[in-house]
A = this chain, B = another copy of it.
Amino acid sequence: MDVWDAVVVGAGVAGLVAARDLVQGGAEVLVLEARDRVGGRLLNDELPGGAPIEVGGQWVGPGQDRALALINALGLRTYPTYVDGEHIAEMGSFRSQYTGRIPRLNPLVLADIGQAQYRLDRLARQVAATDPWRAPRAEELDTQTFDTWLRKTAHTAGGRAFFRLVTEGVFSAEPEDMSALWAAFYVGGAGGLDALINTAGGAQQDRVVGGTQRIALGLAEQLGDRVVLDAPVTDIDWQTSGVRVVTRNGLTVRARRAVVAVPPPLAARIRFTPGLPGDRDQLVQRMPMGRVIKVNVAYDEPFWRHAGLSGQANSTDRPLGTVFDNTPFGGSPGVLVGFLEGRHADAGARMDLDARRAQVIDDLVGYFGPRAGNPLAYIERDWAEEEYSRGCYGAFAVPGTLTRFGPALRSPVGPLHWAGTETATNWAGYIDGAAESGHRVAGEVLPELS
């Protein structure tokens, strides 16, 4: 092809959905992917015995209609995250085992969490998904960190610790890292905090048989040789009529439009000629990635189930603050997945592998007893070390960013269009948001081609 209709940069879900929609609309499309694989932040690894296990994004849940439609269209199946039995919650030195949604806690703390969540959900409903920078209190919210907002809203030490844990679990960032407006936008885009943090009924409800990377693999299969791997884009020269995209290994692609489907801090590392407008450049300087080390630990069987435990555990004090049963479809081997998030990822990354592994196993023993000390396998992934992700789960906006530069998130610049889960209006940070952004950007580009 001499001049493609569109070139897509990045073969994560956003880029692949965009490419598939464009192809379905009759366009000639090429996808350039930096890595030797598709999927971006979705990645399968292998457990002892060969079952697939996700070391990246892995859950879907109700309300994520675009992700679920995609899974369905690709002929993939979902299965529920294991939730039977009692969950473990450690708040400071207080440990409880509970069923349902709410741990047994000091009633004052419970009441505090309840009223703060009520206020957060109410705030989130006031922040429009499409233009949060126009919310009634946008300026007030964007001048403060989410931590500042939480300190004013939650009044007990336990309540504040709970919301720090939740922030780490949802954003793999600390409450002080992000704008309160971004936090409200993100909660609103999911339909409320419960939807973000729940397993059954929430964003962790279901898993994909064979692992979520199969979504990307399925899309890539449909696109066939339109997807070029090992092609890291370094330069995009552009003018109104089209683009010239150059990869590090010397491939040059001409196209009428470009879809950039990589996270904002990585989009900042592509050299555009002419340079992008100040608004767009300032935006991508101000949306850092969260930081997480994801750990899957395999055992010969899911022994916690026999003890009446669900495998779900949380702690405001342990580095491994959030754990779920991650046993694959089929039931073997038993797997616990845990997350070192935000500051815990910082500390974890500064350890050597042996020390980090020992700390993780120690936390699992603390939650589930001595049998957790004898794993079959320990599989970890530090996403901040990945050159083509540089963090997970997603990017967030720091204070002052959405109100000053928000529209630049999605506004095309000449022939350049922006996709990626961070550009979504709902579930911005999830597979669903990635799919939304892919559909949206294809809808922008197709009319330009006719």
A interface list, Cβ under 8 A from B:
142-145, 147-148, 173-177, 234, 248, 265, 268-269, 271, 275, 277-279, 281-282, 285-286, 288-289, 291, 343, 345-346, 349-350, 382, 384-385, 387, 390-391, 398-400, 404-405
Interface pairs (23), CB distance under 8 Å: A143-B145, A143-B176, A144-B176, A148-B148, A173-B400, A174-B400, A174-B404, A176-B400, A234-B234, A234-B271, A248-B271, A265-B268, A269-B271, A277-B349, A278-B345, A278-B346, A278-B349, A279-B346, A279-B350, A281-B384, A282-B346, A285-B391, A343-B404
Copies in the complex: 2
List of 8 A-B pairs having minimum Cβ-Cβ separation, nearest first? A278-B384, A143-B176, A285-B288, A398-B398, A177-B400, A275-B387, A176-B400, A143-B147
Contacts of A174 in B (CB 8 A): 143, 400, 404
Contacts of A384 in B (CB 8 A): 278, 281-282
A280 nearest in chain B by CB position = B384
With beta carbons under 8 angstroms apart, the residue of B144, B176, B282 that contacts A147 is: B144
| A407 vs B175: C-alpha distance when bound (angstroms) | 21
Q: Is the beta-carbon distance between B143 and A144 smaller than 8 angstroms?
A: no
Q: Is the beta-carbon distance between A278 and B385 smaller than 8 angstroms?
A: yes
| A277 vs B385: C-alpha distance when bound (angstroms) | 6
Contacts of A291 in B (CB 8 A): 278, 282
Q: Which of A143, A175, A289, A346 has the most CB of B within 10 A?
A: A143
| A177 vs B391: C-alpha distance when bound (angstroms) | 22
A397 nearest in chain B by CB position = B398
Q: Is the beta-carbon distance between B285 and A265 smaller than 8 angstroms?
A: yes
A144 nearest in chain B by CB position = B148
| A129 vs B43: C-alpha distance when bound (angstroms) | 43
| A113 vs B154: C-alpha distance when bound (angstroms) | 31
| A130 vs B286: C-alpha distance when bound (angstroms) | 25
| A174 vs B142: C-alpha distance when bound (angstroms) | 11
Extra contacts, 13 of them, besides A144-B147, A234-B271, A275-B387 (Cβ < 8 A), are A143-B145, A143-B175, A144-B145, A144-B148, A145-B399, A177-B398, A265-B285, A278-B382, A278-B384, A281-B391, A282-B288, A282-B291, A282-B390
| A289 vs B271: C-alpha distance when bound (angstroms) | 17
Q: Is the beta-carbon distance between A399 and B286 smaller than 8 angstroms?
A: no
| A147 vs B141: C-alpha distance when bound (angstroms) | 11
Contacts of A399 in B (CB 8 A): 145, 147, 176-177, 398-399
Closest beta carbon of chain B to A326's beta carbon, Å: 23
A269 nearest in chain B by CB position = B269
Contacts of A385 in B (CB 8 A): 275, 277-278
Contacts of A343 in B (CB 8 A): 404
Contacts of A279 in B (CB 8 A): 346, 349-350
Contacts of A382 in B (CB 8 A): 278
| A281 vs B387: C-alpha distance when bound (angstroms) | 10
Contacts of A281 in B (CB 8 A): 384, 390-391
Q: Which of A279, A282, A346, A391 has the most CB of B within 10 A?
A: A282
Contacts of A145 in B (CB 8 A): 143-145, 148, 399-400
Contacts of A404 in B (CB 8 A): 174, 343, 346
With beta carbons under 8 angstroms apart, the residue of B144, B288, B349 that contacts A144 is: B144
